[in-house]
Amino acid sequence: MAQQQQPEAVYTTDEYGRPFIILREQAKKTRSHGVEAIKAHILAARTVSNIIRTSLGPRGLDKILISPDGDITVTNDGATILSQMEVEHPIAKLLVQLSKSQDDEIGDGTTGVVVLAGALLEQSENLLDRGLHPMRIADGFERACSVAVQHLDKISDKLSFSKDNTENLLKTAMTSLGSKIVSKAHQQFAQIAVDAVMSVADLERRDVSFDLIKVDGKVGGSLEDTTLIKGVLIDKDMSHPGMPRVIKDARLAILTCPFEPPRPKTKHKLDITSVEEYKKLRDYEKQKFEDMIKNVKDTGANLVICQWGFDDEANHLLLQNELPAVRWVGGPEIETFQLIAIATQGRIVPRFEDLTSKKLGKAGIIREVSFGTTRDKMLIIEECANTRAVTIFVRGSNKMIIDEAKRALHDAICVVRNMVVDNRVVYGGGATEISCSIAVGKAADDVPSIEQYAMRAFASALDVIPLALAENSGLPPIETLAEIKSRHVTENNPRLGIDCTGTGDNDMKKQFIFDPLISKRQQLLLATQLVRAILKIDDVITSGASSE
């Protein structure tokens, strides 16, 4: 029985009974099928990838991002750029999530992983035009990725370091900071990142507790004024000017309960109709304040850190009883509040009745420091019971530079952390990608199936990283890549890369340009997985669109 042919047009009526026609060609326009859909996805992903490609490398350019509120962010951090972009296309959103995955897992390499994914998709489009099936392309990419990851293990080197010898960690951190806004003082920032990580690292377990590292900033001064504090920094001062500025052998009561009389838990209101009633209420409140202060002093505490505020009367009574206090250590600084408890090994107490001497935090010295022409004041808690807690205090000429410096420090700290977890490194400047590209190309020659085309395309995609580095450094990209690739083969030296800084030496080992192995491996794996997922999507169905 012959299949009934569907009509070219569908006649129907609207809610008022008026007739109109739906043409089959119009219905088709709402859907995109097969290879055409995949090409549309690739175009969206490549557009996003090309935006941040110019930010790659030490000579990469920054982007300026303006929020709906008018706030300005200047950065070349891939994860920050993508997270603040208004991206509507679903495939483009996958690239945003890709950079976030790299940032969450590794902390560095967020630009490189998106550029690599875009290059793989560009190569996929060429293979689709030649008639290869999307899944055969994806299988070839998986195979090539496996070869590249194995090759990374072969060309990696182990860097030795210890608590006393951190020179190799310093060089790795400097590589990460070379492309950031702090490159002017990148050696100082790298040293701060290394010192911070080594202060909290457990080298036996190969673990780094990020909870013990806090990065804070204050507008004023220059980037060179950034310091590492062995302790906790609080952006508050004493609640009363008459309180002491330095407290030695501090015992801290860390409270989440306010210095206020208890309020009746009812919707009814209390009316005061006479002077006697008012005096009774005032005496009651004063007695409650005194009981609270007595509770604190009986435990042996000589400083109160309070998450909430308290009024002038409580402040005056605290001063009279020689009990220094800091108020409003909460809100956006709640992480600081928790870090104080961790650093001083104290307990956060929710009620005055629960406070005991065993729950007090301990610190060697607490001092109030002032700086700037406005005489801003901050408290520094040093010689804590938990000596591993540290704070990085960033200075800069404006909020934009401080925010970018914080992001750069985050990347550097993550790189050093990765080195503590796995001390194997590969070499930067595109040297690793060129070496892997050659290895994948050789492996493709031994593959008899059609997947060899996809493997060669994977090798070509890896070349995009050194090409972008050369282009961003003002070098002729194709000639530079061809020369370095030729030397890789003739000299059998996997450490040769793009000389972005113009030193005249292409050996990345001599230039001390290192990348943690786990960072580079994660870039390859994540980019390949994303591209495979995109190649499997062959149909875009708009909500409410007619189907044939």
Show which residues are catalytic.
77, 110-111, 411
Tell me how far apart the alpha carbons of residues 271 and 466 are, in angstroms, rounded to a whole number: 77
The vertex-38 CA angle with 528 and 113, nearest 5°, equals 25
The vertex-241 CA angle with 305 and 256, nearest 5°, equals 15
Burial 143-177 (b: 16+ CB within 10 A, else e): bbbebbbebbeebbeebebeeeebebbbbbbbbbb
Distances (CA, A) of 255 to 212, 303, 326, 499: 20, 11, 10, 56
Tell me how far apart the alpha carbons of residues 141 and 135 are, in angstroms, rounded to a whole number: 10
- Reported as type and span, the H/E element at residue 44 is helix 34-53
Identify the three-state secondary structure at position 327.
coil
Which of 368, 384, 332 shows the shortest CA–CA distance to 212? Answer: 384
CA 199, distance to chain mean position in Å, is: 21
Tell me how far apart the alpha carbons of residues 363 and 385 are, in angstroms, rounded to a whole number: 6
- Enumerate the H helices of 130-181 as residue ranges: 134-155, 167-177
By the 8 A CB rule, do 389 and 342 touch?
A: yes
Distances (CA, A) of 402 to 10, 104, 181, 182: 62, 21, 10, 10
Supply the DSSP string of 383-408, one letter for each residue: EESSTT-EEEEEEESSHHHHHHHHHH
